[in-house]
Amino acid sequence: MIMIAYYVITAFVLVLLGWNFVRETKRRDDLVLYLLVMIPLVLRLLRWK
């Protein structure tokens, strides 16, 4: 049950980061940072790592 909650939280944070990535228009370094932060979250949601 706790594990499911953590997957939901991961998905939520991923959506937030993705939304920020889409909305960001000026700072290119922020775009890179958003994607870097997303890597472990995506790997966990895909159940790869």
Partner 1 sequence: MKKDTLFKAALAGAFIGLVVWGGLPLFRHRHHGVPIVKGPGVTAVLRLSEFSPGLKGTAGDTYVFVLQGKEPGGKALIMGNTHSNEPEGMLAALIFIENAVVEKGSLYVIPFFNNSGSRNTRPGDGYPLYFDVPTDWGSRRFRFGNRDASPLDQWPDPDVYIHYPDRQLLSFIDVRNTNRTWPGRPDGPLMERVTFGAMELMRREKIDVAVDIHGAETMFPVTNCIVAPEKSVKIATLASLTVKAMEGFENHVEASPAGFRGLSHREIGDHGPAMPFLLEAPIPFLDQPTGPKTVKFLLDGKDPFLLSLSRKKKLFVPYDESGWPLEKRVGQNLSVTLEIFRQFSKKTADRPIALRGVPRYADVVKNGVGRFLADPSKAAAGAVVVN
Q: Which residues bind partner 1 (CB under 8 A)?
A: 2-3, 6, 21-22, 25, 28, 31-32, 35, 38-39, 42-44, 46-49
Amino acid of residue 34: Y
> Whose CA is closest to 38, among 23, 30, 25, 2?
30
Distance in Å, CB of 26 to partner 1, minimum: 9
Q: Which residue's CB is nearer to partner 1, number 13 or number 39? A: 39
Give CA angle at 32 (22, 7), nearest 5°: 70
Distance in Å, CB of 15 to partner 1, minimum: 15
